[in-house]
Amino acid sequence: METEKGNYLNVTLKNKIIQNDTVLGYINQYKNLNDPETQEDIRENLKPRSFKVSYAKRNYKIDDICFDKNPKNTTINYEGKTINLIEYYEQAHKLTINKPNQPLILVRRKDSQGEPLNLYFVPEFCFLAGLEDQEAKDGFFMKELAKFTKLEPTDRVDKTNEFINLLNDPDKNEEHPQLLSSKEKCELYGIEVMPVKDIFKAYYMKDTELEGAKGTVHSNDRTFRVLKKKIWQIGFAFMRKIIIMMQKIFIIPYLKLQKHLD
């Protein structure tokens, strides 16, 4: 956003909830994984939920759970060789698969030519995103969660400054020291991001008040909300009576006359 003082970066804070338990931990809650009904129940509960892998920052959506596949019998082409997923994770991500017989997560994509492409992920390294239904219905849990997702303006500014500090961070990635740091990337493109220091003028709008015989009622009071609901109900009931009256005066006599003429 361009202003008299310069260009301002519009930053929006977004939250993504990642569960601590892996997809494999969720699957292992079921006892008989060889039972077709159990497998179908797992599919219904996991499709089409999102998940995040432990070795990358990308998110994916579950299209299916393949119980006929596992890391031992599923192969891919890696650096010109055909290897199974156990070898692939050891070579590409330095990860050891502890449960070689676990089912695989299927994600359907398209390649650069537009052809169907199936990607298989090991549940042991995948974490579900979002909330369970029972968590979303838990009022106390949602109230505690709101402390992190619905921030006050001052807290939002602090979080924004934390983000800006990351952009200006001169430290390099320890795992990939050959990559540029965040600050070096900004300097490369001629970008300088300053912390939020300016104070912006704003107008504070008072709560709506209703003056009545029994005193003043504020918009944040329960009485005001009940009163507003009653006003809507009265208005709806009044309009309904008007419609019924119009039917009796105009529509019904017209239909009787039309029937008589026919």
Within 10 angstroms of residue 221's Cβ, the number of other Cβ atoms is 14
pLDDT reported for residue 37: 93
Per the CB < 8 A criterion, the answer to whether 105 and 62 are in contact is yes
Answer yes or no: pTM beyond 0.85.
no
Cα–Cα nearest to 4, from 200, 157, 161, 164: 200
**Residue type for 95, please?**
L
Q: Where are the domains of the chain?
A: 2-12+133-188, 18-129, 210-261
The sign of the torsion formed by the CA atoms of 105, 44, 52, 111 equals positive
Task: Report the SS3 class of residue 97.
Answer: coil
User: Given this model, what pLDDT does residue 214 score?
Assistant: 60
Q: What is the pLDDT along the chain (262 residues), one digit of tens a residue?
A: 666 766 777 777 777 777 788 999 999 999 888 999 999 999 998 988 889 998 887 889 999 999 999 999 999 999 889 999 999 999 999 999 999 999 999 999 988 888 899 999 999 999 988 777 677 777 887 888 888 888 887 888 888 888 888 888 888 777 777 788 888 888 888 877 777 665 566 666 666 666 666 666 555 555 555 656 666 677 777 778 888 887 777 776 767 767 766 6
Long-range contacts, 137-146 (Cβ 8 Å, 24+):
145/17
Starting at the edge strand found earlier in the chain, the sheet holding 126-129 runs: 18-22, 126-129, 50-53, 59-61
- What distance in Å separates the CA atoms of residue 203 and residue 68, rounded to the nearest whole number? 62
- At 197 the pLDDT is 65
**Distance between CA 49 and CA 45 in Å, rounded?**
8
* Beta-carbon contacts of residue 105 (< 8 Å; ≥ 6 apart): 23, 51, 60, 62, 64, 65, 66, 120, 121, 122, 123, 126
Class at the top of the CATH hierarchy for domain 18-129: mainly beta
